Structure formats: C-alpha cells, structure tokens
Amino acid sequence: MSTETVIETRELTKIYNGQAAVENLSFSVNAGEIFGFLGPNGAGKTTTLLMLLGLTEPSSGSARVLGMDPARNPIKVKSMIGYLQENMGFYGDLNARQMLRFISELNDITAEIAEERIASALQSVGLAEEQDKKIAAYSRGMRQRLGIAELLIKDSKVAFLDEPTLGLDPDGTNRMIELIQSLCRDKKMTILLSSHMLHQVQKICHRIGIMIKGRMVAQGEIDQLAEEKFGVGKEQYTLEEIYMKYFQEA
Amino acid sequence: MRGIQTIIKKELADHFASYRFTIIFALIAMISLITAYMVGWKIKTEMEGMASQSAFLLLFTLPGAMGLFSLVQFVAFFGPLVGLVLGFDTINRERNEGTLSKLLSQPIYRDVVINGKFLAGVALITVMMVSIVLVITALGLIVMGIIPGIEEIWRIIVYLIISIIYISFWLGVAILFSILFRSTATSALAALAIWIFFSIIFPYSVSVMANNIFETAENDPEAIVRRAKVVKVIILLSPQELYTEATATIIDPTRKSSRSIINMSAGPMESLSMARFSGPLPLLQSILIVVPYIISLVALSVICFAISYAVFMRQEIRSL
C-alpha cells in the first residue's frame, strides 16, 4: 500500500449555533485504504464528511482532499468523491437506470460511456434484474447497493460511506461489506467508512478513527489502539471492547 | 452552468408527470375556454354589424355571463395560484426526502439547482399560457368570426409576456417560501396567505382607508381625484394591481390612461358603447404607458429571486 495521503484535515472545526459539532479535528487517510470512522450518533462524523465534500464550510481549520481544499474548490472535489449519505436520497419515482443516468449527466459523463457503466455497475451490485423498478419500491439493501453503483459510475477516487450497513439484514450486510471490499481491492478506491457495526469494521478496515463529541480521540490501526489501551495485541480484544473503553473515558 | 440542463429536464419531466400540474392545467384551461366561449357569443350577438378594429380583443376583457371574470381578470386572480402550486415545495421537499444533499454532492454549483428549478417553472408557465391563449384565440375566431389584425396579435403577444412575468413572480415567491420553511405544508400556507392578502385584503383595505382619510371632502371633485390618485399609488404595491394595470392597457387599445375614474365607475354598457372605439391608441403608445408597471413587476420578481438566492446559498446542509 502506498503512503500517499488522500484526505488530510488540520484543526478542522465546525460550530453550529455556538456549539462545536467538530472540534480541532486532525486526521489523515492514505490512498487505497479503508478508514473506519467510528463514534456515537451526533459525534460529528457526518458534519466532517460534509466539510470534506465542500457542502459545509468549516468555521476554522483546513481540509485537503486529493490535494485540494474542498471549501475553495468544491466542484473539483465533488467530481472525485462519491458520497453515500445515510438516507441514500434517491428519487423514489425514478427507476435505477434513470437515477444513474441523471447522476452521470450531472457528472458530465457522455451518454455512451454512461450507458456502458450503468449496465456493468448494475450487474456488479446485483440490481440488473430490478433496474426498471421504481426506487420507491426498493428495499433498504437494494438502495444501498444502488448507492455503490453510483460510486462505480462516477468512477470516484474516494468514497465517503455514511452508515452503509445501517438497518440491513445479515445477508444484506454481508453483501454490502463484500462490495465495499471490492471497491477498495478492484477499483483502488480510498474509502472513508462511518459505521456502528464494529464487528464488520474490524474485519475490513485498515485503520480506524474514533470520534466522540466532535473530537478524534484515537486513530490508527486496531492492534495499535489495542496496545495503547490494553497493552496487548488485537487477538485478545475485539474492536468493541476498545471502542467502549474510549467511549467511557471520554 | 454545468448541470443546469439536466436539472431543468428532470424538473420538467416531474411536472408533466405530476397530478398537481395536470389538475391545475385542466382547471384553468376549462374555465378559460368556457369564458371565451360565452364572451365570444356575447360579442357576436351584441356587435352584429359593428365592424370594429379592436373587437377581437374584447374576448379577453369582457366578463362572461352572470358577471363572471373576464379572461384578463381571471389570469390576474388565479394566475398566482399556478405559480404557487408549481413552486411551493421546490426545495423543502427535496430537503425532506434527502435528495437535496444527493444533488448538491454532485459536482454542480448550488445556484444551478435553484436556477434550474426556476427556469423549468418559467418554461412550464410559458407553455401553459401560450397554449391556453392560442386555444382561446382559435375559439374566438370560430365563434365570433372576426379575424384579429396584426396589431391585435402583437397585443396578445405582449399580454402573454406580461402574464408570464407575473406568474413567474409568484413562482419566485413560492420557491422563496420553500427555502425558508422546512415543512411543505407551512410553505404552501404561507404562499396562499400572501396571495389572499394581495388579491383580496390589500385592495379592499386600501380603499377603505382612503375613504376614511378623505371622508370630509366627499363632494369636492378635486378631492375625489386626489383620493383616486393616492389609492392608485398605494395599490401599485400589489403585484396583482401592477399586472391588471399593465395588461388592461395593452389588451384594450381604447384605454388611454392607466386608470381613469370614468372607466371605474362606468356601468357594463360603457364598455360596449360606440364612443369607446373612437381613436384607439397605437400599440407603441400602449406599451409606453405600461412600461413602468412591467418594470416594477420585473423588479419585484428579481428582488424575490435575489432573496431566495441569498438565503439558499448560505443555508447549511446539515445531516438529514
């Protein structure tokens, strides 16, 4: 794995109505890795993602994504990042193909290339048979997979996945995890994954960061964190125990 | 403006597929057709043998049977409803469904979203108004058997343009409310409230207030004129009035001032008396009279859109 830094923040702070949602956040994600972004609800994970996308301006501090400042150059940054938001946000009255076509038009992808990519993306996420169904009729798992198809169509260098396994059944979760791993392995995508499913995170993430109350309380490889907290390797401790330990201390 | 075509296309497709648009279009088309038919017959029977230059345009200005609206009044009153219905949930629906952040996380500028939605609405209003006026004109032709002259056609076109600006202003108001309010029900209600205020409450209260203020000099003709002037100026704050004033002069070449007291007080027969048809204004003169109204109307729309723009560009996209 190369050590090129894809995402880097310095003292990133966001204040909403006098309250810090994100406070002095500094972390970095290397090219090609899956970075697990953990933390309780309301810890500021989504706000951080929005700042990295240039959708929200930081109150202070700076961020760099692929060498660019998202606050200054949001269009360039957004064209290279695929963002899978928590509630998916697809138009229910479109079918999968129409939705993906809409996305590719907004991304200035020519029609022929788009059609090709749409067909192969739907195939690889297993939605080819349901492509003419309206998204309103999709299950949660299908919507999440459609989100992955969107990343494939945009051919994103970086993907932000916000709770991609939330509310999925065990089979759906496994499929999703496999898809995420294949994005990293086959497409060389750098993935910032926010999730509560610690067991899965432990399985697929190269490094993790734990965010509590707007602050990053720990970041690094899981063994490293386990050693820091317990003085032993990860074989003896699950990520859950490490996480709870940080959570209680914060 | 990268992506604006895509947004406009999507928006138009959504509108054409929506029940909402179908219902309001059918309603307005039906009412205008019935009115046009009734007025057409009325003109045909009352004007037998009175070949007049501007008779065709009476189709738009005469009320239908039983003192119903004239077509011009109808658009002045219900046109806003079209704009409001098309726009009241433009932004907040997308916000509530989470599709707004999906849209904004694509590589497009934020203003493209609001511009695209506004332009799509304007395009829709244009299609709607043009088709309705065309059908009315055709119906008038068949019923009355009068062929409109070149100048009359130009007047209809100018009337169309003013109407489109007017309804687009209301679309702008609706979009503004959809940005300001999170709930679509609230934005719909707020937009309706503004519409009712300017259509009913505002003109009524202005004339009541004027009556009270100028009460003392009721018999003095100069005072009556003064009062009329004051009312005229105040009432122009209302977009409805601006529109009515502008279109009335355009569509009725025999109107020489923007609002004559005689016209206001005259009974229905006055509108058909022979004297009215003497010396109609040329089109250019009519346009000159209404230019200030058109400019005010455009200015109102621009202000409204500018506020929407400023608010929308600053709004935080928060986790939904």
| Tens-digit pLDDT profile for residues A112-141 | 999 999 999 999 999 999 889 999 999 988
The C-alpha atoms of residue B253 and residue B249 are separated, in whole angstroms, by 6
The position carrying tokens 């990053």 is: A216
Q: Could you tell me which chain A residue has the CA closest to the CA of B105?
A: A78
**Could B6 and A102 be called an inter-chain contact, meaning their C-beta atoms sit closer than 8 Å?**
yes
The C-alpha atoms of residue A40 and residue B159 are separated, in whole angstroms, by 60
Identity of the residue numbered A11: E
Q: How far is A228 from chain B (nearest CA, A)?
A: 32
Mean per-residue pLDDT, B122-133: 93
A34-38 and A190-194 strand pairing: parallel
The C-alpha atoms of residue A179 and residue A121 are separated, in whole angstroms, by 11
- CB contact, 8 Å: A91 with chain B? yes
Return the higher-pLDDT residue of B213 and B73.
Answer: B73
Residue B258 has pLDDT above 50, yes or no: no
All residues of chain B having their beta carbon less than 8 Å from the beta carbon of residue A72 are none
Grade residue B251 by pLDDT with cuts at 50, 70 and 90: confident
Show the DSSP H helices in B47-109 as ranges: 58-61, 71-87, 90-97, 99-104
Mean per-residue pLDDT, B251-277: 50
Strand partners, B158: none
Residue B190 has pLDDT above 50, yes or no: yes
| pLDDT on residue B207 | 77
What's the pTM? 0.87
**Which tokens sit at A150?**
């969107």
Sign of CA dihedral B296, B300, B301, B303: positive
| Mutation target vs B (from A53, A94, A99, A102; most B CBs, 10 A cutoff) | A102
Mean per-residue pLDDT, B79-106: 92
Residue B260 has pLDDT above 70, yes or no: no
The C-alpha atoms of residue A14 and residue B205 are separated, in whole angstroms, by 49
The C-alpha atoms of residue A178 and residue A180 are separated, in whole angstroms, by 5
Angle between helices B150-180 and B110-144 (to 10 degrees): 140
Mean per-residue pLDDT, B191-212: 86
- Give the CA count within 13 Å in the CB-facing half-sphere of B42: 22
A207-212 and A81-84 strand pairing: unpaired
SS3 label, residue A62: strand
Grade residue B289 by pLDDT with cuts at 50, 70 and 90: confident
Q: What is the DSSP letter of B197?
A: I
Residue B51 has pLDDT above 60, yes or no: no
Chain segment B53-69, per-residue pLDDT in tens: 557 777 787 776 656 67
Strand partners, A190: A158
All residues of chain A having their beta carbon less than 8 Å from the beta carbon of residue B97 are 89, 91-92
Residue B259 has pLDDT above 60, yes or no: no
Residue B155 has pLDDT above 60, yes or no: yes
Identity of the residue numbered B154: W
**Could A79 and B320 be called an inter-chain contact, meaning their C-beta atoms sit closer than 8 Å?**
no
| pLDDT on residue A40 | 86
Q: What is the DSSP string of A108-129?
A: T--HHHHHHHHHHHHHHTT-GG
**Could B101 and A102 be called an inter-chain contact, meaning their C-beta atoms sit closer than 8 Å?**
no
**Could B319 and A50 be called an inter-chain contact, meaning their C-beta atoms sit closer than 8 Å?**
yes
Nearest C-alpha neighbor of A114 from the set A157, A150, A90, A78: A150
| pLDDT on residue A152 | 93
Return the higher-pLDDT residue of B259 and A69.
Answer: A69
Domain spans, chain B:
4-314
Domain spans, chain A:
5-87+157-249
- CB contact, 8 Å: A103 with chain B? yes
Grade residue B187 by pLDDT with cuts at 50, 70 and 90: very high
Q: State which H helix or E strand residue A231 sits in.
A: none
- Alpha-carbon distance values, A70 to A8, A23, B79, B109, B300 (Å): 11, 18, 43, 13, 35
**Could B6 and A56 be called an inter-chain contact, meaning their C-beta atoms sit closer than 8 Å?**
no
Chain segment A46-70, per-residue pLDDT in tens: 889 999 998 888 899 989 999 899 8
Contact at 8 Å (CB) between B103 and B113? Answer: yes
A34-38 and A207-212 strand pairing: parallel
Q: Could you tell me which chain B residue has the CA closest to the CA of A154?
A: B106
- CATH no. for A5-87+157-249: 3.40.50.300
